[in-house]
Structure 1
Amino acid sequence: MKRSVAMLAIAALALTSCKKENAALRIDDATAKKAELAHAESGKLPVIKFASMDHDFGTIEEGTTVEHTYTFTNEGTADLVVSNVKASCGCTIPSYTQSPVKPGGTGEIKVTFNSSGKSGNQSKQVTVTLNTEKGTEILNFKANVTPKAGGIGVVKH
C-alpha cells in the first residue's frame, strides 16, 4: 500500500510539474497534513505470530480423531482478520477465530484430524488466509498412524 501512495504522489507531481507554475506552491498546509496522515495510516498492518506453526500428534491408532489448537498473537498495529482456513485434505476440519483480533490480542485455529482410512506417516497442511502483508500462512501437522486394534476415540493434543 505504501508503494501505491508513493506512485500516486509521483504521478501527481509529474502531471502538475509539466505546467509552468511551481506545483509545490499550490499545496496548502491542510492538504499536506492530509497526505501525511494518509501515508502514516497506510503503514498500519497486522502481524501474526504463532506460538508454533508445526505439531506432531505422535503415534495414533487408525480411526482415532485428534485435535490441536494453534494459538497466535497479533503483533501488528491494525486489526488482524482471518478470512479463511483450508485443510489440504477432507480428513482435517479447521475452525478459527472469526472476529477481528486487535493489536496485542490473541486468537486460535483448531484442527481436527480423523485418521480413519489412513496408515503410516501422515503430513498435512492448513492454509490460513489473512489480511497481513504476506496474506497467507501454512500450518503443518503430522502423525504416525498404526493399524486399528480396537475402538475409535478422540484425543486432544
Structure 2
Amino acid sequence: MPPIDRYAIESGCSDEELLAVTRVYARDVVSEHDLTVSVGDLEWRLSTRAKRRAGMVRYRDGEPRSIVLARRQFENRGWNALAATIRHELVHAHLLNERGDPSHGDAFARLAAELETHVRCERFVDPRWWVRCVDCGDRLARYRRSKLVERPEEYRCGNCGGRFRVVRNE
C-alpha cells in the first residue's frame, strides 16, 4: 500500500487540488495492486451534497465511467477516510472490469481486505433524525424528512415489531 501520509492534503484545499491528489493516489494504488482500472480514463468528481454515501462508481454497460467522492467526508473525517473510500471505489471499478460485478459480495470483501479498506463506510455526517424502536432500542438514521419520520406510528421495527419514536438530532 502506498504510504497514505505522502498524499495527505489539508481540508481547506480547492476541489481541483483535492481531485489532483486523488488521481495520483488512485494511480499508485492501482499500480501497486495490479488492478484493471484506468485512472486516467475515469471522470473524477466531488459531491458537495452527499451525506450517506462516501463514494460511488458510475458505470454503463458494465464499464466504470466515473468515480464520485463526498467532499463532506474529507472535510469531516480527513484524508485517511477519503483515501480508504478511494480504495473502496477502485475495488468496485476493478471488479466491474473483471467480472461485471458492482456488488459488495465475497470477491469484494476479499479484495477490500487486501487493500485495507472498508466494505461499508462509517457515518461522516450526523443525521437530522434518529428513529428509535421503543422496545429493542434499534435506531435508524434519517437525513431527510420521510414518511417514517412524519408518521412513525404507521411503521414497526424489523427486528422486534416494536413501535418507533422519532428524535430530532440537535
Q: Does TM-score exceed 0.5, indicating one fold?
A: no
Give the TM-score, by structure 2 length.
Answer: 0.25
In terms of fraction of residues, the more strand-rich structure is: 1
**Larger Rg: 1 or 2?**
1
Give the TM-score, by structure 1 length.
Answer: 0.26
Q: Which has the higher contact order (CA 8 A, sep 6+)?
A: 1
In terms of fraction of residues, the more helix-rich structure is: 2
